[in-house]
Amino acid sequence: MSLPEDLDRAVTEVRDAMAFVDRRAINRTDVIKKIFCAVLTREHVLLAARTGVGKSLLANQVFAMFEGARTFQVQASKEQQPDTYFGALILDELKAGRIIHNTEGSLVESEFGFIDEIFDANDYTLRALLTCLNERRLVRGVQNVPARIHTVIGAANYIRVTEITEALLDRFLYKAVIDPDREPFFMYRISQQFVRHRGQTAQPPARIPFATLKRLSDVVRGHDPKVTIHVSHELLFFANLVLRHYEAMLRRSREQATGRPKDGKPDFYILPRTQAKALDALRAIALMNRRLEVTIDDVGKLAILLCTAGVREEHDVFDKCFASLKNHYAASHAFDQLRTMLGLQDVLDRILIEPKLLEQPIAELADTHVKKTLAEWAKEKLGLGETSAQHNRRLLTAYLDAIVPLTDEIRSLKMRLIDEVNQLFNPDAPWT
């Protein structure tokens, strides 16, 4: 299905903007794609690099591609308090014992933000930022107001690890490590850009209205009432398998590289929030390729979210993990089996919400693929021509029992479905 004309035009504008920034920030293509994916999904980006590699220039150039959006900028320091980010405290309110910030011109009232040397900020201030970055609300004392924040880019020369900074890192889903360029060609191209622009942001030939970005972001995050990017059940299941296997393989790779056995907390962990936001990344990838449906190859591009740009090891492990799983599922025809079983899961979910549906034949509730599979199987194996409501339990139980799982993950899915069928038809079973 092709994109509506206005969305297609908006995608072209974003791709043109990416190309412009790519010409301005030399040899930073992967980082630029990551930043724009974060912008499309309304997430935040952390750039880690030594001094002088152009982190500030890159962030400012990206933000300069949009019009109608305010940008808040600050260089963090240990002496700063939360009012640096949220606005000065209103003295009359403070005298009355209430913490109320005057948010005009602050991060709270800005769509974009750039925080340089973010780990120089003290833990008290970083803790105050957490809710603002994640929930997009300023919650301080009795003040609880929405924040306009769309995307914040944080930059750092080093990573400081504490309980607070770990929580902060969780808010920055997209991460990149930028190394200085030492290849003569890229050094020459950087010099060219410096001579032309003297280290300042370049004026783009056209800027994208922030309203256009917001529309794209709504589509990507599933909030647009008119346009939906379809992700099939089996692809969503498969994407989560890739995430799980990537996590395990990268952890194993690092343990082998360091020679350290597993002891306590793993050194690599995909947070549940990151896993949930992978769906937005998949839809962003499909949209930027002018599609309204996610394909299996889009799953192979989830490295844009899961891997740190500039860390080759992570990308290599992810590519290997995706390729092996994709080949295994394709060769064994496991996707067909997965599609049928997840279709049954959808039917069970609908019945749990509306129990009266059990009075209808199960096959009538399923999509075309599952309905045909159930009907043919019931006729061949159970001798049932037209399945009726009283046959539901027999049909589901016998059908699931007869499935020979093609992968370990489908075997686990089968057991979960059997448990749900038993619970569905035995609602009064003992709970202990």
Q: Return the pLDDT at 360.
A: 74
DSSP 301: T
Residue 430 lies in a domain: no
**Do 305 and 283 form a contact (C-beta atoms < 8 A)?**
no
Q: Return the pLDDT at 431.
A: 64
Q: Return the pLDDT at 150.
A: 98
Integer Cα distance of 126 and 81 in angstroms:
9
Q: Which residues pair with 293 in a beta bridge?
A: 230
Together in a domain, 196 and 285: no
Domain boundary among 181, 199, 220: 220
Residue pointed to by tokens 């049909």: 395
Residue 33 lies in a domain: yes
Together in a domain, 354 and 245: no
Q: Return the pLDDT at 359.
A: 75
Together in a domain, 390 and 248: no
Q: Return the pLDDT at 347.
A: 81
Together in a domain, 20 and 159: yes
Together in a domain, 69 and 156: yes
Tokens found for residue 236 = 């969503």
Together in a domain, 258 and 121: no
**Do 310 and 28 form a contact (C-beta atoms < 8 A)?**
no
Residue pointed to by tokens 């910030």: 101
Cα angle for residues 295, 298, 301 (degrees, 5° grid): 165
Tokens found for residue 402 = 């007869």
Integer Cα distance of 413 and 341 in angstroms:
8
**Do 108 and 86 form a contact (C-beta atoms < 8 A)?**
yes
How many independent structural domains does the chain possess? Answer: 3
CA 317: distance to chain centroid? 19
Task: Provide the pairing of β-strand 112-116 with 151-156.
Answer: parallel
pLDDT truncated to tens, each residue of the chain (432 aa)?
A: 689 999 999 999 999 999 999 988 878 899 999 999 999 999 999 999 887 778 888 999 999 999 999 999 999 999 999 999 999 999 998 888 888 999 999 999 999 999 999 999 999 999 999 999 999 999 988 899 999 999 999 999 988 878 888 888 889 999 999 887 777 766 666 666 765 766 678 889 999 999 999 999 999 999 999 999 999 999 999 999 999 999 999 988 888 877 665 555 556 778 888 889 999 999 999 999 999 999 999 999 999 999 999 899 999 999 999 999 999 999 998 998 898 888 888 888 888 888 787 777 766 666 656 655 665 655 555 445 555 556 777 777 888 888 899 999 999 999 999 998 888 877 666 765
Residue 327 lies in a domain: no
Sequence-separated contacts (24+) of 187-193 with Cβ below 8 Å:
189/26, 189/27, 190/26, 193/24, 193/26
Q: Return the pLDDT at 432.
A: 59
Helical residues (DSSP H) of 221-311, grouped into ranges: 233-258, 272-288, 296-299, 303-306
DSSP 226: S
Integer Cα distance of 296 and 120 in angstroms:
41
Residue 151 lies in a domain: yes
Domain boundary among 287, 320, 353: 320
Tokens found for residue 86 = 């949220």
- For residue 103, the domain's CATH number is 3.40.50.300
Together in a domain, 85 and 149: yes
User: What's the chain's Rg over C-alpha atoms?
Assistant: 26
Tokens found for residue 4 = 């509506």
Integer Cα distance of 319 and 87 in angstroms:
45
Task: Provide the pairing of β-strand 143-146 with 137-140.
Answer: antiparallel
Q: Where in the sequence is the domain holding 301, given as residue range(s)? A: 233-320
Together in a domain, 157 and 201: yes
Q: Which helix (H) or strand (E) holds 218?
A: helix 210-220
DSSP 20: H
Residue 357 lies in a domain: yes
Together in a domain, 360 and 282: no
**Do 171 and 41 form a contact (C-beta atoms < 8 A)?**
no
Together in a domain, 98 and 215: yes
Integer Cα distance of 274 and 279 in angstroms:
9
Residue 226 lies in a domain: no
Q: Return the pLDDT at 141.
A: 84
Q: Which helix (H) or strand (E) holds 126?
A: helix 123-134
Domain boundary among 297, 320, 343: 320
Residue 375 lies in a domain: yes
Together in a domain, 85 and 165: yes
Q: Return the pLDDT at 267.
A: 65
Residue 227 lies in a domain: no
Together in a domain, 285 and 188: no
